Structure 1
Amino acid sequence: MKKIVAIVLLLGLTGYGIWQALAAEQQNRKAGLAVGDIAYDFALKTPEGQQIRLSDLRGKPVIINFWATWCPPCQKEMPDIEKFYKQYKDDVELLSVHLTSQDRRENLSPFMKKYGLTFPIVMDEKGEVLKLYNIQTIPTTYIIDRQGVIRKKVIGPMTYKQMQDIISRLP
């Protein structure tokens, strides 16, 4: 009986040690743009004036998509993003960053109507988040896990199937 208690105690202490090490690793992650980094936090407003902060979305996976209305590859991926959003909006947060520093704000509403977009869109009117995330090509998409860690970066348009595959592999 003493051996069983000792084994259970040893297993419990080992498990606790592993849990503490993982928690410390998570806290020591740096903010950045590489896979494995904590995604840089930012806050932007929707066209209606509601502020959305990336860190407030933790607890669910987040897809951050950087795009503009004038961008043909962005236009190509919008139907797939909308389809994904409708299917997964209860399980995944979608943060669509409209680069209004390169696109006139008045183009957004007609674009949303044309493509039937219902997902949340925030506006980067000063290009601050564009610079923070070093966006060189649009569309660019970051996939972030429940803890705010970047798990994938995709440059170019994404398909519904790609989004499904990536999200299904998140821890």
Structure 2
Amino acid sequence: MRAVNRRNVAVLALVVLVTAVVLVRWLNDEPEAVPAVQQASGGGIGAGKPAPAFSLKDNAGREYTVGGPRDKALIVNFWASWCDPCRQEAPELNAMALKYKNVLDIYGVNVTSQDYKPNAERFIRKYMLAFPVMFDLKGEVFDRYRGQVFPTNVLIDKNGKITEVVLGALTREELEKKIIALTGS
């Protein structure tokens, strides 16, 4: 009798866990625009705020810098190779990087502190990413941007100001609308 009760408790716990995972994934499927994410210091990142400055290198050793005025608008895409919404969004980001290359830069930032670099490198090859991808090995840049979910897209205008922070994957149509608004194209 005790074995049956233990089995029933284990099955119930498994059902609750699976339900929680499905619910979290379902909630994360909807992109959410975040007007401002407050920092503990009372400052913040969000619409109208300067993008926190950082420099990261890609696998070839090229350094990319964010912060301050730029020649083009920018999307910083924080992602991880295990993230299903990141996989769905990668081809769309790739297409937009090519289509809007004259007015927009896209920087992919793999949050390697929450990933496995060889898997991230496979992800880059699999999706043949046409934009620079850097590795945030310690998660410091993701932390500076108060990152919470994958993917997180930070839209930055030519003046270096954040126009929007989007949590979750964007469809091609949503992404293109945001790019047109960001670049004026």
- Normalised by the shorter chain, which TM-score bucket? 0.7 to 0.9
Assess if the C-alpha contact under 8 Å between 1:32 and 1:38 holds in 2: no
Shift of 1:153: 1.0
What residue number does 2:5 align with?
none
Equivalent residue runs for 1:1-171 within 5 Å: 32-55=44-67, 58-170=70-182
- Residues 24-46 of structure 1 show CA distances to partners (whole Å, capped at 9, x for unaligned) of xxxxxxx8412110110101110
Distance 1:89 1:114 in 2: 21
Distance 1:167 1:85 in 2: 10
User: Runs of at least 4 residues of structure 1 off by over 4 A?
Assistant: none
Question: Residue 67 of structure 2: SS of its match in structure 1?
Answer: helix
Which amino acid is 2:155 matched to?
Answer: I
- Residues 121-163 of structure 1 show CA distances to partners (whole Å, capped at 9, x for unaligned) of 0110011001101101110101111101111111000122222
Corresponding residue pairs, total: 141
Greater Rg by CA: 1
Question: Residue 169 of structure 1: SS of its match in structure 2?
Answer: helix
- Residues 93-123 of structure 1 show CA distances to partners (whole Å, capped at 9, x for unaligned) of 1011101111111112221222222211011
Question: Residue 63 of structure 1: SS of its match in structure 2?
Answer: strand
Stretches of structure 2 lacking an aligned partner (at least 5 in a row)? 1-42
Distance 1:52 1:133 in 2: 16
Assess if the C-alpha contact under 8 Å between 1:96 and 1:120 holds in 2: yes
Q: TM-score, normalised by structure 2?
A: 0.72
- Structure 1 vs Structure 2 CA RMSD: 1.6
Stretches of structure 1 lacking an aligned partner (at least 5 in a row)? 1-30
With over 3 angstroms needed to count, the CA separation of the structure-2 counterparts of 1:58 and 1:32, relative to structure 1, is farther
